[in-house]
Amino acid sequence: MIRSDIRALSAYHVQDSQGLIKLDAMENPYPLPDALRRSWAERIAETNINRYPDADMARLRQTIAEHEGVDPDQVLIGNGSDEIIQMLLMAVDAGTCVTPTPTFVMYDLISHWLKRPVASVPLNADFSLDADLFLNICNREKAAIAFLACPNNPTGNLWPEASIKKIADQFGGLLVLDEAYGPFADRSYVSMMRPNVMVLRTFSKFGWAGLRLGYLLGEADAITHLNKVRLPYNINSLTQTSAALLFEHFNVFEKQAADIRAERGRVTAALTGLEGVEVFPSQTNFILIRVAGAQKVFDQLLDAGILIKNMHGAGGLLSNCLRITIGSPAENDAVLSTFREIMS
Ligand SMILES: Cc1ncc(COP(=O)(O)O)c(C=O)c1O
């Protein structure tokens, strides 16, 4: 009944985090402030869940468009950016999907679900991107679509503008610049948008992971066609209501993102000072490190009640790598003191 290649896949595993300091999924550690939580509860209580949601999401598209300085018809909204990755892979021309490796796993995984061939371009040992190699592989594969996460997950770095521009200028297929970690990066590549370059964003890392809300910015004509493979009512009423309110308090989340960036600096400096820990520079809300015996270090952190992400199993450049989401100052202190004990 079920395709053999689907049977052969391992399910996307989400580790149980109950009772743990949860630093494995790049979430914002701050809950909603009390006053905002009360206004939110009132708005939610007024939402009519007996009716289907607004299918066109005109208001939400307008709000996002104003925020981004584009027209509302250049905005496609998804149930998380994951859903938009799926829509793109369903709708673009047949042909290979090219991604760097390592990168965000969903590009490859969804391609497999949809029987789209994939080709990987290895990053250099320092996680830099060889733009010429990337273009060569795109040409060799006659690629239809390519994804570049800017900044990249799980490596945390942001490839230089010149490399991205070179690829944008020379690639003949659709290039998707995934700015999921945009709120924590020094720069955005949104100005590179053109008919074959689209920009993907999400509110998940910004503090709204539970809402599942992402969006794609692109040329109006392509967005119109992509909307045809969007499931009707993909964004539920509670998410639409919540987003309308949260946009009125955007500065709360911008301040949190600034605090997270500052904490990232503090945690980076402290980990860099520990012997045996290699820390990679990050433009995101997480830090990738390499440490001998990563599995043991991961287990020791878990014993101390701290859940991070063990990347060692992916092998290759990620051997002995651990990914640590930046948490609240107290959570970060717990990480640092546990690390000091482990490494001493
Ligand atoms: C690069 C990148 N893109 C997209 C996503 C998916 O985000 P969303 O929660 O919007 O589906 C992630 C999640 O970790 C990510 O790292």
Which domains does the chain show, CATH number per domain? Answer: 10-32+251-343 (3.90.1150.10), 48-249 (3.40.640.10)
Predicted confidence band of residue 11 (pLDDT cuts 50, 70, 90): confident
Give the pLDDT of residue 184.
Answer: 98
Residue nearest to atom 12 of ligand 1 (CA): 180
Tell me what percent of the residues of the chain surpass a pLDDT of 70. Answer: 100
Q: Which of 310, 312, 301 is nearest to 335 (CA)?
A: 301
Q: State if residue 80 touches ligand 1 by the CB under 6 angstroms criterion.
A: yes
Note if the pTM is more than 0.75.
yes
The DSSP bridge pattern shows strands 75-78 and 286-291 to be unpaired
Neighbours of 166 (CB within 10 A): 15
Give the pLDDT of residue 174.
Answer: 98
- Name the residue of 26, 79, 82 whose CB sits within 8 Å of the most ligand 1 atoms, as the mutation to test its pocket: 82
Give the pLDDT of residue 10.
Answer: 84
Mean pLDDT of the chain: 97
Give exposure, 33-44, as e/b (b: 16+ Cβ within 10 Å). eeeeeeebeeee
Q: How far, in Å, CA of 218 to CA of 72, rounded?
A: 10
Give the pLDDT of residue 215.
Answer: 98
pLDDT in tens, 264-320: 999 999 999 999 999 999 999 999 999 999 999 999 999 999 999 999 999 999 999
Q: Which of 128, 125, 197, 192 is nearest to 160 (CA)?
A: 128
pLDDT in tens, 147-170: 999 999 999 999 999 999 999 999
Q: How far, in Å, CA of 195 to CA of 82, rounded?
A: 21
State the average pLDDT over residues 180-194: 97
Does pLDDT of 241 surpass 80? yes
Q: State if residue 216 touches ligand 1 by the CB under 6 angstroms criterion.
A: no
CA of 41 to the centre of ligand 1 (A): 27
Chain-centre distance of CA 263, in angstroms? Answer: 19
Give the pLDDT of residue 208.
Answer: 96
CA of 170 to the centre of ligand 1 (A): 26
> Ligand 1, closest atom to CA 209?
9
Q: State if residue 158 touches ligand 1 by the CB under 6 angstroms criterion.
A: no
Contact 317, 125 (CB under 8 A): yes
pLDDT in tens, 36-49: 999 999 999 999 99
- Name the residue of 81, 89, 311 whose CB sits within 8 Å of the most ligand 1 atoms, as the mutation to test its pocket: 81
Predicted confidence band of residue 235 (pLDDT cuts 50, 70, 90): very high
Neighbours of 154 (CB within 10 A): 23
